[in-house]
Amino acid sequence: MTTTLRLGDTAPDFTQDSSDGPIDFHDWAGDSWVVLFSHPADFTPVCTTELGKTAALGSEFARRGVKPIAVSVDPVDKHRQWIGDINDTQNTTVNFPILADADRKVANLYDLIHPNASTTATVRSVFIIDPKKAIRTTITYPASTGRNFDEILRVIDSLQLTDSHKVATPANWRDGDDVVIVPSVQDPVEIAQRFPKGYTAVRPYLRVTPQPGR
């Protein structure tokens, strides 16, 4: 039974085998952020580059307190063979688990099989999950299009910043750029306390300020 997951929903828990052994998902996630991302199959070209890029960005994920975890419908022994290819062709070391979802348990929980695209292969979905196990972002790509992992890191930066400060991030924002003050903050004293570097009111509803903490 598939379920449509929406932002703010609790990420479904599960127990599933993986290239690193059995995973009890919520226990494995602990207090970390998680990026759960799905792959149509092992030994496919686009997936190989994606897992290689994720491994290469390991220090960037760790710096943000994020654990990546992949899911593919193939079994563990095939995953482990594939990891050798990924490491070799992408000049990296895969250091995160790949769930072995042969029974489609995770695929069904996270609605990863879209019959109008394929009745068997999972789509390329990304779930960014916060330490409270809430789904904060979902992105879905067709099987033919590889993901932009710089964008995934950018979204995580935005989420972590906006969770800590009463700001939102504008179009094409990157860490260190100016941000906007959320409309709910109107009290001048609060604004002065929260944004000591000041702000520019482009319009009453569009107030631009340097990124807090920078």
Tracing tokens 């479904």 back to the chain, one arrives at 12
Nearest to 100 by CA among 18, 26, 13, 12: 18
pLDDT, one tens digit per residue, over 171-208 is 999 999 999 999 999 999 999 999 999 999 999 999 99
The confidence score (pLDDT) of residue 119 equals 44
Chain centre to alpha carbon of residue 75: 23
**CATH tag, 165-209:** 3.30.1020.10
Of how many residues is the chain composed?
214
CATH entry, 15-146, from 3.40.1010.10, 3.40.50.720, 3.30.1280.10, 3.40.30.10: 3.40.30.10
Tracing tokens 């095939």 back to the chain, one arrives at 78
Going 50 to 103 to 130 to 115, the CA torsion angle's sign is positive
For residue 194, with 0-12 CB atoms within 10 Å meaning exposed, 13-18 middle and 19 or more buried, which class applies?
middle
The answer to whether residues 32 and 65 touch, using CB atoms and an 8 Å cutoff, is: yes
| pLDDT digits (tens), the chain, 214 positions | 446 899 999 999 999 999 999 999 999 999 999 999 998 888 999 999 999 999 999 999 999 999 999 999 899 999 999 999 999 999 999 999 999 998 989 988 998 875 554 544 566 899 999 999 999 999 998 888 999 999 999 999 999 999 999 999 999 999 999 999 999 999 999 999 999 999 999 999 999 999 998 8
165-209 has the same fold as 15-146: no
DSSP E strands in 28-183: the ranges are 33-39, 66-72, 98-100, 124-129, 135-141, 167-168, 179-181
Q: Which residues sit opposite 18 in a β-bridge?
A: 99
The confidence score (pLDDT) of residue 150 equals 96
In angstroms, the CA 49 to CA 76 distance is: 19
The confidence score (pLDDT) of residue 197 equals 95
For residue 146, with 0-12 CB atoms within 10 Å meaning exposed, 13-18 middle and 19 or more buried, which class applies?
middle
Active-site annotation holds for 197: no
The confidence score (pLDDT) of residue 113 equals 72
Q: Of 35, 47, 94, 152, which is the active-site residue? A: 47
The residue extents of the domains of the chain are 15-146, 165-209
